[in-house]
Amino acid sequence: MTSVLNSLRQLARDLRSQKLRTFLTTLGIVWGTVAVTLLLSFGQAMHKQMLKNVLGLGNAIVIAFPTATSKPFEGIGKGRPIRVTEDDIELIRKRATLVDAISSEYADTLQLKLGTKTMAVDVSGVSPEFGEMRNMIPQMGGRFLNPIDEAQKRRVAFLGNELAEDLFGSADPVGQIFRLHGSPFTVIGVLEPKTQDSSYSGRDKDKAIIPSSTYRALTGQKYVELFIFTAADVQQTVPATDEVRSILAGKIRFDPTDKEALMIWDTTEMFQFMDSFMFAFKAFLAIVGSLTLVVGGIGVSNIMSVVVEERTPEIGVKMALGARPRGILRQFLAETLILTAVGGSIGLLITYGICEVWPAGMEEFIGIPKVDTQVALLTASLLGLIGFVAGFFPARSAANLDPVVAMKMT
C-alpha cells in the first residue's frame, strides 16, 4: 500500500512539472475515449432503431401475392390467374412442416359510420395468428382477434391507433360500437403505437382489422388478396417458401417452379442485409474512434519518455540502493495506466452527459444513443491495451538503465 501511495505522489510531482504536456496528453485520451464511445453508441442506437422500424412490418414474415402464371402447365397456357381460397390456406397450415404460422388477408376500403361521421377505411380480414406475426400489439385493456372470433364470425374490430383517435378522440374505444359496411362492429382493441417504415397496403395505424370469416360473410369475397407466413426456423425461410409454393402448385395446378405465379416478399432478407451492413458500419466507426484513441496513446508514451529522461538520476540512485528492474518497470507502467484511466474516465463521463441530453425528437431517425455495458467494456479494454503499450517502452528503457551511468546524468 505504501509503495502505491509513493508511486501516486511521484506521478503527481512529475505531472505538475509538465503541466502543459500533461494537459494536452490527457486531452488526447479524453477526446479519443469520447470518439470511440460516442461513435459506437450512435452506431448501436442506429442499429436498434433500424431493427425497430423493420419489425413494424412484421417478425421475419414472408408475404405472398397470388398473381398469374408465367409458364404453361398441363396443357394450359401462361397468364392464368391464381386464385387462392381459405381452403388452400388451411391445406398449407396442415401439410407444411417448415411453416410455423400462416394467415390469409382479405383487404378493401369500406365505409365506416360513427354517429354523424362517415369515412372510408382500409379494412383487412385476417386470422388470429396475424397479430403476432405482424407485431400488432394491443394497448392496455384491449386484445387482438382470437380463434373464437374467427370460428363464430363475430363482428369485432381491432383498430389502428390513429384511426381510433380520429373516431373516438380521447375516449376509450374498447367496447364502442360503429357501423362498417352497414353492419355493427364492436371495438375489442387498439394498436399500441409502433414505428413502421414500410408496408404493402398502408400503415397499420390507419387500418381496421376484423376476422377473415366475418370479412367473407360481410363482403362475399372468396379469394384472398395475399397471405403471410413465418418459418419455424428463420434460417429455413427459403425452403419453407418452396414448400408453400409446392403445396399450392399441387392444389391449384401450376408449375411449382413458376416464381411469378406466387410473388414472394421475404422480409428476412432485410434483416440479413441490415445486420451485415450495420456490422460493417459499426466496425468502421470503431476503427475511426480507435485511431483517434491511439493518437492520444502516442501522447502518453511521449510524456512518459520525458518523465523517464528527467528522472534518470533518481532511477540510478534507486537501483544502486537495491531497486530491481522489475520494480522500476512496474512503477512506470502503473503511472502510465493511471494517467490513461483518468483521461478515459473523463471521456466516458462526457459521453454519458451527451447521451443524457440528446434530444428525444431525433429518435425516429437515429434512435437514442446509450453507453451500454458492451461499449463501456470494449472502450475500457482498448484503453488498457493502449495504456500498457504506451507505457511499456518508456518503462523498459527506465528498467534497463545502468545505475552508474544513470546517476552521472544530469
Please write the tens of the pLDDT for every residue from 204-260. 999 999 999 999 999 999 999 999 999 998 889 999 999 999 999 999 889 988 888
Name, in order, each residue with C-beta under 8 angstroms of 294's C-beta and a sequence gap of 6 or more.
32, 386
Confidence of residue 400 (pLDDT cuts 50, 70, 90): low
**φ, ψ at 367 (rounded to 5°):** 80, -170
Please tell me which residue, 358 or 208, carries the higher pLDDT value. 208
Query: Looking at 11-15, 137-141, 344-348, 368-372, which range is the least confident one?
Result: 11-15
**CA–CA dist 347, 349 (Å, integer):** 5
88, burial (CB in 10 Å: exposed 0-12, middle 13-18, buried 19+):
buried
Distance CA 42, CA 48 (A): 10
Mean pLDDT of 294-301: 73
Choose from 23-32, 82-91, 250-259, 298-307 the range with maximum mean pLDDT.
82-91
Residues 116-160 have pLDDT tens digits of 899 999 999 999 999 999 999 999 999 999 999 999 999 999 999
Model confidence pLDDT, tens digit, residues 70-79: 888 887 888 8
Q: What is the mean pLDDT of the chain?
A: 82
Which tens digit of pLDDT belongs to each residue from 306-325?
Answer: 666 666 666 666 666 666 76
Residue 404 pLDDT greater than 60, yes or no:
no
CA–CA distance, 326 with 400 (Å, rounded to integer)? 10
Check residues 93 and 344 and name the one with the higher pLDDT: 93
All three cell numbers of 153, joined, read 364470425
Query: Which whole-number Å values give the CA distances from 219 to 10, 66, 107, 109, 209, in the listed order?
Result: 87, 20, 10, 11, 14
Contact 245, 62 (CB under 8 A): no
E strand spans, 267-323: none
* 380: pLDDT strictly greater than 60: yes
Q: Phi, psi (5° rounding) for residue 165?
A: -70, -40
Q: Which residues contact 73 (CB under 8 A, 6 or more apart)?
A: 253, 254, 255, 258
Residue 367 burial (10 A CB sphere; 0-12, 13-18, 19+): buried
End-to-end CA distance of the chain: 31
Q: What is the pTM of this model?
A: 0.69
User: Phi-psi bin for 322: left (phi > 0), alpha (psi -120 to 50), beta?
Assistant: left
SS3 content of the chain, % helix, strand, coil (to 5): 60, 15, 25
List pLDDT tens digits, range 35-72.
788 888 888 887 777 777 777 788 889 999 999 998 88
How many other CB atoms sit within 10 Å of the CB of residue 145?
Answer: 27
Taking the CA of residue 263 as centre, how many other CA atoms within 13 Å lie in the half-sphere pointing to its CB? 9
> How distant, in Å, are the alpha carbons of 155, 177, 215, 221, 360 from that of 218?
9, 16, 5, 8, 44
Phi-psi category of residue 159: left, alpha or beta, with phi > 0 → left and psi -120 to 50 → alpha: beta
SS in 3 state form for 330-344? HHHHHHHHHHHHHHH
Q: What percent of the chain has pLDDT over 90?
A: 40
Question: From CA 315, how far away is CA 292, in angstroms rounded?
Answer: 33
- Using 50, 70 and 90 to split pLDDT, how confident is the model at 370? confident
Q: What local confidence, expressed as pLDDT, does residue 3 receive?
A: 59
Residue 410 reports pLDDT greater than 60: no
For helices 373-399 and 19-55, give the axis angle rounded to 10 degrees: 150
Q: Is beta strand 226-231 parallel, antiparallel or unpaired with respect to 117-126?
A: unpaired
pLDDT band at 402; cut points 50, 70, 90 = low
d(CA 306, CA 15): 11
Q: How far apart are CA 11 and CA 168, in angstroms?
A: 70
